[in-house]
Structure 1
Amino acid sequence: MARFHPLPVAAVDRITDDSVALTFAVPAELREDFRHTAGQHLTLRRTIDGADMRRTYSICSPAPGPGGEAPRTLRVGVRLVDGGVFSTHALKELAVGDEVEVMTPAGRFTLEPSPGLYAAVVGGSGITPVLSIAATLLAHRPDARFCLIRSDRTSASTMFLEEVADLKDRYPQRFQLVTVLSREEQQAGLPSGRLDRERLTRLLPAMLPVDQVAGWFLCGPMGLVEGAERALRGLGVSRALIHQEIFHVDAGTPTVSVIPAPAHSTVTARLDGRGGTWPVQDGESLLDTVLRNRPDAPYACKGGVCGTCRAFLVSGEVRMDRNFALEPEETEAGYVLACQSHPSTEQVELDFDR
Structure 2
Amino acid sequence: MARFHPLQVAAVDRLTDDSVALTLTVPPELRAEYRHAPGQHLALRRRVDGTEVRRTYSICSPAPDAEGPDRLRVGVRLVEGGAFSTYALKEIGIGDELEVMTPAGRFTLDPAPGLYAAIVGGSGITPVLSIVSTLLAREPEARFCLIRGDRTAASTMFLEEVADLKDRYPQRLQLVTVLSREEQQAGLPSGRLDEGRLTELLPRLVPLGEVAGWFLCGPYGLVQGAERALRGLGVDRARIHEEIFHVDSGPAASGTAPAAAHSTVTARLDGRGGTWPVQEGESLLETVLRNRPDAPYACKGGVCGTCRAFLVSGEVRMDRNFALEQEETDAGYVLACQSHPLTEQVELDFDR
Residue number in structure 1 paired with 2:11: 11
Matched residue SS, 2:155: coil
CA offsets 1:312-342 (integer angstroms, 9 cap, x no match): 0000000000000000000000000000000
* Counterparts of residues 1-354 of structure 1 (less than 5 Å): 1-65=1-65, 67=66, 69-251=67-249, 253-354=251-352
Which amino acid in 2 is paired with 1:97?
G
Matched residue SS, 2:86: helix
- Normalising by structure 2, we get a TM-score of 0.99
CA offsets 1:11-45 (integer angstroms, 9 cap, x no match): 11000000000010000000011010000000001
CA offsets 1:197-220 (integer angstroms, 9 cap, x no match): 110011001011111000000000
Matched residue SS, 1:156: helix
Deviates more, 1:42-51 or 1:81-90: 42-51
Separation in 2 of the partners of 1:319 and 1:250?
21
Q: Alignment length, in residue pairs?
A: 352
Alpha-carbon offset, residue 251 of structure 1: 4.6
Alpha-carbon offset, residue 263 of structure 1: 1.6
Matched residue SS, 2:60: coil
Separation in 1 of the partners of 2:271 and 2:68?
27
Alpha-carbon offset, residue 254 of structure 1: 2.9
- Normalising by structure 1, we get a TM-score of 0.98
Q: Which runs of no fewer than 5 residues in structure 1 stay unpaired? A: none
Matched residue SS, 1:70: coil
Alpha-carbon offset, residue 255 of structure 1: 4.7
Which amino acid in 2 is paired with 1:178?
V
* CA RMSD, Structure 1 to Structure 2 (Å): 0.9
Equivalent pair of 2:43/2:298 in contact (CA under 8 Å): yes
Which amino acid in 1 is paired with 2:61?
S
Alpha-carbon offset, residue 84 of structure 1: 0.7
Matched residue SS, 1:159: coil
Separation in 2 of the partners of 1:32 and 1:252?
37
Separation in 1 of the partners of 2:20 and 2:50?
24
Identity of matched residues, %? 81
Stretches (4+) displaced over 4 A: none
CA offsets 1:55-92 (integer angstroms, 9 cap, x no match): 00000000024x4x421000000000011110000000
Which amino acid in 2 is paired with 1:158?
T
Separation in 2 of the partners of 1:40 and 1:234?
28
Alpha-carbon offset, residue 260 of structure 1: 2.4
